Amino acid sequence: MRDLVYPPVVAFAKTAFTVLDLKIRRTGTEHVPRTGGALIAINHISYVDFILGGYGALPAKRLVRFMAKEVLFRNRYSGPLMRGMHHIPVDREAGAASYQQALDHLAAGELVGVFPEATISRSFELKEFKSGTVRMAAEAGVPVLPMILWGTQRMFTKDHPRDFTRHRPISISIGAPITVTPDDDPTEATTHLRSTMSGMLDETIRSYPEQPAGAWWLPAAYGGSAPTPEEAQQLDLEELARRAAKRQ
């Protein structure tokens, strides 16, 4: 697969990271395979997660094809970039095509990035996972690599203004590959993946260099003022209702 757009975008992102002087800490990068297909499962806390998620695979000299909302591919600005980087458009009302495209990428030995929560978590804790991640890995015969991002929510997330303050710490943690087979129960495999990533998230939050009490970007369970998972779920429902009303 020819990549004429991706390398310049990566170079631009690296330059932006340097200008912002982001303190990026990557751990577990040795788990990213140098060759062959793999599915990277990432927690979702901000609009820039796909940028930092892809950065986590760069030490292995790999590019990640992300499954992303189809609307991004129709946008006049992001569309050409998303298509040029061979990301995968996801139409939630016609998901079979994107699922097959992801399988084709995996069969071709590509890394595919997915967000098992599907949408950004307002609580910054893990939401419930969709089973598509483990089903896809089992069908493609590739491992799942759990990845946790932290600090990206401080830059650009739901319900808060963008804030690209310099010198901000960002954590990228990659866990050991998880094998899923067609004989595994998808529900149990999804529960195992979520449990693994929950433990990684807890460790990542606790080791993050900044822990200000009451911070909006810190989960309530860790002394922050972010919505609880229950409150976040209610906010999500209200957002869906507003969107439905707007479509009507």
- Mean per-residue pLDDT, 181-203: 98
Q: How far is C-alpha 82 from the geometric centre of its chain's CA atoms?
A: 15
- Quick one: how far is CA 181 from the chain centroid? 23
Report residue 42's pLDDT band, with 50, 70 and 90 as the boundaries: very high
Structural domains of the chain sorted by starting position, each given as residue range(s) with its CATH number in brackets:
6-247 (3.40.1130)
129: phi > 0 → left, psi -120 to 50 → alpha, else beta; which? beta
How confident is the prediction for the chain on average, in pLDDT? 96
* pLDDT at residue number 57: 97
pTM equals: 0.95
The average pLDDT across 59-63 equals 97
* Token pair listed for 61: 């000299």
Q: pLDDT value at position 232? A: 98
Q: How many CB atoms lie within 10 A of CB 61?
A: 9
pLDDT confidence tier of residue 247, bands split at 50, 70 and 90: confident
- pLDDT tens digits for range 80-124: 999 999 999 998 776 789 999 999 999 999 999 999 999 999 999
Check pLDDT > 90 for residue 192: yes
